[in-house]
Amino acid sequence: MSAFWNGWIIILTVGNILACFWLIWWTMRKRAGEASSGDVTGHVWDENLQEYNNPLPRWWLFMFYFTLIFAAIYLALYPGLGSFKGLLGWSSHGSQYENEMKAAEEKYGPIYKKFASVPVAALATKPEYGEAREMGKRLFLTYCMQCHGSDARGSRGFPNLADKDWLWGGSPEQIQTSIANGRNGVMPSHAHLGEETIANLAAYVASLSGREVDSAKAEAGKQAFTTSGCIGCHGVDATGNPMLGAPDLTDKTWLYGGSEGIIRQTITKGRSGKMPAHKDLLGDDKVHLLAAYVYSLSQ
Ligand code: HEC
Ligand code: HEC
């Protein structure tokens, strides 16, 4: 932090606390002279409802003082004033955080390790490994739910993990790789093809999953699907390619949507779904349990 911002934060913080002290002192001082008179403030509502200018109860004022004193002590002991480290020298980095993580790892590590040598498919299906699947489920609810949903059924742009339809493959190894290393599906923008070709392509793609479309457009789109290079990733028959995460366009499962309008958008703007890597965050043993849980959902 530069010296300027450091000073800025210190002045703002200390200034605010002093201003609060002054404000309370100022209202107290007024109280001494006017307490007994029971002045009205001059505000009147509904013809005769008046506001009295009575002093605050003393205990209430002391609560204000208490919070201000607490703030002063806190800021002296702990970091909070710019880059001042506080008299205790406490920090969330370094020892405390790392010690807690290490203690947790020593305590819980062996519980996860216990299942590391059992193959994912066995963990996912054998009745005696119910406990492992429960652990995988809890990990899923902590680390994966925000994107894939608590039931793993996903939403637009976030794939459903509970069905048998996969972008990157549904074998235990492929699922484990998806979780450990992350995935990035890149559908490039094809705006350069022009609106008419894109509309034809959208009609053709929509027709593949049985939607009613203009057959002349779909016929032209079928040509364009080959000449525009779509087959390079989605395959000649448009059934996709798990090596690239290119989805099957002939089924009724859609990552972004199967209406002509949304397909036009996908082709024009492109798409880039990102599944973050979790290997470094969670470690191999937890990824293993997660893979087992995810695999079990489609079995
Ligand atoms: C470089 C490879 C590549 C090319 C070329 C490509 N796509 Fe894609 N396409 C992908 C990938 C990968 C995805 C998934 C994107 C994601 O995961 O975010 C995708 C997604 C889509 C989707 C969305 C499917 C859904 O489930 O919502 C449609 C529709 C689509 N592509 C149509 C086309 C058409 C039409 C063309 C030709 C103009 C084309 N793609 C060319 C790789 C490609
Ligand atoms: C920040 C959002 C996000 C989080 C968090 C996340 N995912 Fe994903 N995940 C995605 C997206 C987006 C994709 C699709 C990538 C693509 O378009 O190719 C995906 C894809 C996947 C796939 C591949 C699906 C397929 O059809 O091949 C698996 C398996 C998966 N995620 C499991 C998990 C697990 C388990 C976790 C928790 C450890 C998790 N994800 C956390 C966003 C997320």
Give the model confidence (pLDDT) of 124-151 as tens digits: 999 999 999 999 999 999 999 999 999 9
17 has pLDDT over 90: yes
33 has pLDDT over 80: no
Task: Determine the pLDDT at residue 257.
Answer: 95
Ligand 2 pocket member 112 (CB < 6 A): no
Average pLDDT over residues 53-77: 89
Length of the chain in residues, anyone?
A: 299
Q: Which residues contact 134 (CB under 8 A, 6 or more apart)?
A: none
Decide: 284 and 176 in contact? Cβ < 8 Å: no
What are the φ/ψ torsions at residue 6 (nearest 5 degrees)?
-55, -55
- High-pLDDT (> 90) share of the chain, %: 76
Give the model confidence (pLDDT) of 178-197 as tens digits: 999 999 999 999 999 999 99
Give the model confidence (pLDDT) of 224-241 as tens digits: 999 999 999 999 999 999
Give the model confidence (pLDDT) of 204-216 as tens digits: 999 999 999 999 9
Residue 162 CA, ligand 1 centroid: distance in Å:
22
Ligand 1 atom, smallest distance to 271 CA: 18
Q: Which of 135, 138, 147, 294 to mutate to test the pocket of ligand 2 (most atoms within 8 A of CB)?
A: 147
58 has pLDDT over 90: no
